[in-house]
Amino acid sequence: MYRKLISLAMASCATFAFAQVDVDALATEVEADVIEWRHHFHEFPELSNREFNTAKYVANYLTSLGLEVETGVASTGVVAILDSGKPGPVVALRADMDGLPVKEQGDLSYRSTQMGEYNGQDVPVMHACGHDTHMAMLMGAAKILTNIKGELKGKVKFIFQPAEEGAPSGETGGAEVMVKEGVLKNPDVDVIFGLHISSNTDVGTVRYNSGGTMAAVDPFKIVIHGKQAHGAYPWKSVDPVVTAAQMIMSIQTIVSRELKLIDDAAVVSIGSIHGGNRSNIIPNEVEMVGTIRTLNKAAREHIYESLPRKVNAIAESMGAQAELTLPLDYYYPITYNDPELTQAMVPTMQRTAGAENAIVSKPVTGAEDFSFFQEEVPGLYVWVGGKPLDVSEQDSPAHHTPEFYVDDSGMKLGVKLLTNFTLDYMAQH
């Protein structure tokens, strides 16, 4: 209770400290620019670690604001620093930059017709997850904060991150690489804020959660080695297909029978299975790949213990051999919203969006590499509504699909939140 009162008191102080700053009016003034930037990014998307023109566009604008700009961070990332010249905390604000190998459908005037290369193939490219809006909102916040530099105390670090969707095969990238390269150092970041547009959340609303808010992700691969035989004589084989089937069924019981799901959700899914090439040949090998999603460390640790136990025991019982690679090629930690920071920023969200529009939401089993920043410093990651009010949630297109759409009008709230998070945190500290 004491901590809660202190947090509320600090938030109240923040309101008075920046009473002379009309963030809503400033966001209204920059909104047309934000929409123009978003349309540009949407029309000309680039894939992970290939955001060359995107980075140049961002860097040129940040330089025009008079900021100290660094490019080439984690391949194509852009980082800019706004120094108020007065002592205070270092607040980081992050936006991701990459598009997806998705062919856009719809008739937007700024729809993408761009092509790119993904895993050696020419593919269409689309901002099918809203990263175009994230960049535009952060650029809008950068413009506002630069214009009110005299009101700030401390520094703001604007982080434009590549490869949130995952680096190309054989490459590294994203937040993990940015952290390794020292993006949270020089100056040392005290806190970081990020947001994600949501195609199924009403424009004008912000959703947040304290603690685990998006899942850790651990891809894995299982290779089952058996003995090949003619399909007419299965007794001469060690059948990796049947072994794989038993493994898949057993793996499902890790979540359904071993984890205490009333605490947090978890997922173990097989997404791909390959083996054999003819109907009448039992193959000698089957390969499966899958994903693990967890919202707390205990569940992740349990699955790490249980999965190899089941895989090896079933393989042995069938006379086969199994190789488990876990994690396979990358790992995202839990996107964990620092509880004390979240509580301190609740009044900010309520004041910015309206108390009725700041909604506590349940965690989701999607993943975000913003989590790498949160492993180093306290962070808060929220969802901002992008669904038009006249569209039902059931009819709103999902992220990562050709029909994905979010409305321009949702971005103003994002600009205001990034600005107010910065102002209020500076006032509190």
Point out the residues that are catalytic. Answer: 98, 164
Q: Which amino acid is at 374?
A: Q
C-alpha dist (Å) from residue 340 to 87, 128, 345, 378, 386? 23, 33, 9, 9, 27
- Return the biggest CA–CA distance within the chain: 83
**CA angle at 156 for the pair 150 and 158, rounded to the nearest 5°:** 130
Backbone angles phi, psi at 405, to 5 degrees: -155, 135
Q: Which residues pair with 202 in a beta bridge?
A: 387
Q: Map residue 59 onto helix, strand or coil.
A: helix
Q: Taking Cα atoms as reference points, which of 397, 359, 403 lies closest to residue 198?
A: 397
Contact 406, 132 (CB under 8 A): no
Contact 371, 216 (CB under 8 A): yes
The partner residues of 329 in beta bridges, in order of sequence, read none
**DSSP structure class, residue 51:** -
Report the sign of the C-alpha dihedral through residues 176, 177, 183, 188, in that order: positive
Q: Which residues pair with 194 in a beta bridge?
A: 94, 381
Residue with tokens 């790949």: 289
SS3 145: helix
CA 119 to chain centre: 22
Q: Token pair for residue 413? A: 């709230």
Question: Using CA atoms, how far apart are residues 58 and 64, in angstroms rounded to an integer?
Answer: 10
Tell which residue, 321, 243, 323, has the closest CA to residue 275.
243
